[in-house]
Amino acid sequence: MPGTSKTKIKTKITPVGVVGKVLRILELLDRSPAGLQLKDIARLTTLNKSTAHRFLRHLEGEGYLFRDGAGAYMIGPRLVRFGSGISSQAMLSRISRPVLEQVWSATGETVNLATLAGPDILYVDVMESLHTFRLVSQIGSRRPLSCTALGKAMLAAMSAEQRESLLPTLRFESATARSITSIPKLRKDLAQIMQLGYALDDEEAVTGARCVGAAILDANGKVAGGISISGPTARINKTNLASIAKTVKLAALEISTRLGLPKKS
C-alpha cells in the first residue's frame, strides 16, 4: 500500500551443516555404549577437535550426553528416554559408577546398585568389600522387593498408585526370623522408610547381615533404581548406622542429580 513501509522479519535458522555434525556425534556414540574420548570422536566423525569439543560440552550440559570420570562421552539420560541403543540399566550403571566407588572407598563395605524389575530388584552393579567376611549379591541376580533394603527403598519412593499396584504381586520369603512376611507388616515398614529417607534390611534376608539402601530418582522424580551398602552386623551396627545411612542417602541424591533430578533450593 502507498505510504506503508515494509519491514523484513529475519529469523535465525540453524545451519543444516551444524545439525548434521551433531547427528554424526550422536549416531557414533549410540554405536559405542562404552563411551569414547574426545580425540576418538573427532577422528571418527572427521570433525575439528575444537568443534567437536564445543558440541560435546553443549550436549553434556543439556543432559543428552554424559561424561564419566575418565573423560569418555556416552549417551545421556535424556536420549535414553528417547529410545537410544544403550539400555537404561547400562546407562544407570555407567553414570553411578563414580559414586559407587566413592562410597566403597569411604565405607569399605559392599556397595550395590539395582533397578526395578516387576516385583523384584535386579542387581546391575556390585562392588565387593575387601573384607574376608562380606555380603555379596551377583550382578544379574534378582531378589524380592519385600525382603531387601533396595526393594523397600524403591517401594517407599514410588507414587502411591504404583506402589499399590505392586503390593499384591510381591513375593514374601521367610529367610530368617526377622523376615517381613505380610503386606500389613511391609506397609508399617514403608511408612517409617518414607520418614527416614532410607531403608534397612536388619537380618531379614541373611542372619548376621545388615543392608542400608536409598532410592534413586530420575529427572521426573520417578524411581530409577536404588543404591545400598551391605555388610555383617558386627561392622554395620548401632554405632555407625546413622553415618552409613547418611552416606547412602547422599549417594542416592548425587546419582539422582546426575540423572537430571532438579536440586532442591
Q: Which CATH number characterizes residue 234's domain?
A: 3.30.450.40
Is the backbone of residue 115 left (phi > 0), alpha (psi -120 to 50) or beta?
Answer: beta
Residues 126 and 105 reside in one and the same domain: yes
Residues 170 and 121 reside in one and the same domain: yes
Residues 56 and 112 reside in one and the same domain: no
Last residue of a domain, one of 60, 81, 102: 81
Write down the mean pLDDT value for the chain: 86
Residues 147 and 252 reside in one and the same domain: yes
Last residue of a domain, one of 54, 81, 108: 81
In 33-118, alpha helices (H): 38-45, 49-61, 77-81, 88-107
Residues 122 and 162 reside in one and the same domain: yes
Is residue 200 domain-resident? Answer: yes
Is residue 6 domain-resident? Answer: no
Provide the number of structural domains found in the chain: 2
Is residue 188 domain-resident? Answer: yes
Residue 262 per-residue DSSP state: P
> Can you read off the three cell numbers belonging to residue 212?
542400608
Task: Give 60's pLDDT tier (boundaries 50, 70, 90).
Answer: confident
Buried b (16+ CB within 10 A) or exposed e, 79-99: bbeeebebebbbbbbbbbbeb
Residue-range definition of the domain harbouring residue 37: 16-81
Residues 69 and 92 reside in one and the same domain: no
Residues 165 and 227 reside in one and the same domain: yes
- Examine the pLDDT at 1 and tell me if it is beyond 60: no
Last residue of a domain, one of 81, 101, 116: 81
Residues 96 and 53 reside in one and the same domain: no
Residues 121 and 198 reside in one and the same domain: yes
Is residue 219 domain-resident? Answer: yes
Kindly report, residue by residue over 224-233, the tens digit of the pLDDT.
999 999 999 9
Residues 107 and 28 reside in one and the same domain: no
Kindly report, residue by residue over 76-128, the tens digit of the pLDDT.
777 765 554 456 787 788 889 999 999 999 999 999 999 988 888 999 999 99
Kindly report, residue by residue over 138-173, the tens digit of the pLDDT.
888 888 888 899 999 999 999 999 999 889 888 888
Which CATH number goes with the domain that contains 26?
A: 1.10.10.10
Nearest CA to 194 among 241, 224, 164, 155? 155
